[in-house]
Amino acid sequence: MNTWSTYAIPDEAGVASMLKGKPLSPQTWRLDQASYPDFSVPQNVRPCCAFGDMQKVKLGPIPIPFFRLNNVIEIDDLGPHKFASGIYYYTPSSASALSIAGGENNGLLYAKHGGFIDLAHIRDTADDTIALFFEILANLGKAHRIELPAELGPRYIELKAFDTSTLSDEQKWQLSAHLAARLAYFKAESHEIAQWHGYSSFSRWPETISAYSIEDLYSNMLGAKLTLALIQQRKMLSEIQYNQNLTLWLNASLRELGAVDKSQAKDVLSAVDGVWWSSQEAIPNKYMVLKRHYGLGDQQVPYLLPQVLVGDDQNSDMFKLATSAPTVLSLPAMVEGLELDKIALLVLEIAPDYTSTFSHIPEAIWSDRIDHTQFPIIAEYAEQQDRIDLKVLGVIGE
């Protein structure tokens, strides 16, 4: 994917104010549409972490001896962000906002106000947001289709035609930014659905274990909100500016959420072993993960360490983690007086190869197409089916 760089054009009033020594408004400039970057949404997702710690791994039916997957990181391990980095990309220290060289070093961390957070999910949705923004801004108010990478079948965004003549340039900017963040987040929801229904990024390596994992969508929404903030502040006019500012904002946000060190995160994973995940099962067994998050939608609440698992010692670090207040994330459904779901929809169509995985859902819901307003219904049916499966396995009651 090509790098990008765009530029701002000052308006006449702004230039006149500058020449006369008058204060400049932060809104006295605009982007030249001819300079909008021309790229598509990243075609691949970063490898993410299966929930748990030091999990056993099986290749097909065969366990891999003496191998455990170490997912857990802490904030000081984070590397510089790279737009659409894929599996690995090396950033020199001269290009890093934190003067740290290396790859992104993604993994799973725990924050006292944000629960478990998957760095790959944050970065993927952040990148999707910036990629969608420029195409939405260029086509706002027009009937337009944005193609997305297919998973269960064709996947795309439908922009609807509407009158933008009464909107200022700043209002169009804000509207496009919020649409980009919201649709990037719903793209992440569609990926959770796809994983549950058998889609896999890598052939012969099932991803059902990761579907509706409790940390995923909170992380995705955090990524959308980070890039939304950068767009609103115009801190993303080139790829290097975007990478550097996202690195800084990601680091600061994780600190604000109360990211703990690696040993504490491992203690939390140990405390929820047998409740949220099972160390007795191996990757990629779907039911190595015992608790899933089916609550799709534009408000996400993190899963914090349950107090019932840590006892009553109010002076212990674990008790303090379990009694921390959660930071709830949300994306607005209305901006500039407009209902965003009436302006744009993310659509998923089901290819014949996957229709059998929808047999537990009434055909009228999914046979034509599914848009993001229906995703919570699909997740409810997934939850019902998982409860049946877990009961058969003797893990939980109905």
CB burial readout 329-358, b (16+ within 10 A) else e: bebeeebeebebbebbbbbbbbeeebeebb
pTM (2 d.p.)? 0.91
For 121-178, the pLDDT digits (tens) are 999 999 999 999 999 999 999 999 999 999 999 999 999 999 999 999 899 999 999 9
**DSSP category for residue 60:** T
Tokens for 263?
Answer: 């040993």
What are the Cα distances from residue 55, in Å, to 18, 23, 284? Answer: 61, 59, 10
pLDDT score of 91 = 81
By CB neighbour count within 10 A (0-12 exposed, 13-18 middle, 19+ buried), where does 360 fall?
exposed
pLDDT score of 87 = 67
Which residues of the chain are modeled with pLDDT < 50? 1, 65-68, 397-398
CB burial readout 216-229, b (16+ within 10 A) else e: bbbbbbbbbbbbbb
pLDDT score of 35 = 78
Rg (CA), the chain: 22
pLDDT score of 236 = 94
The continuous run of DSSP H or E covering 116 comes out as: strand 115-118
What are the Cα distances from residue 188, in Å, to 46, 136, 175, 179, 182? Answer: 12, 18, 20, 14, 10
Q: Which amino acid is at 325?
A: A
pLDDT score of 366 = 97
The 10 Å Cβ neighbour count of residue 269 is: 22
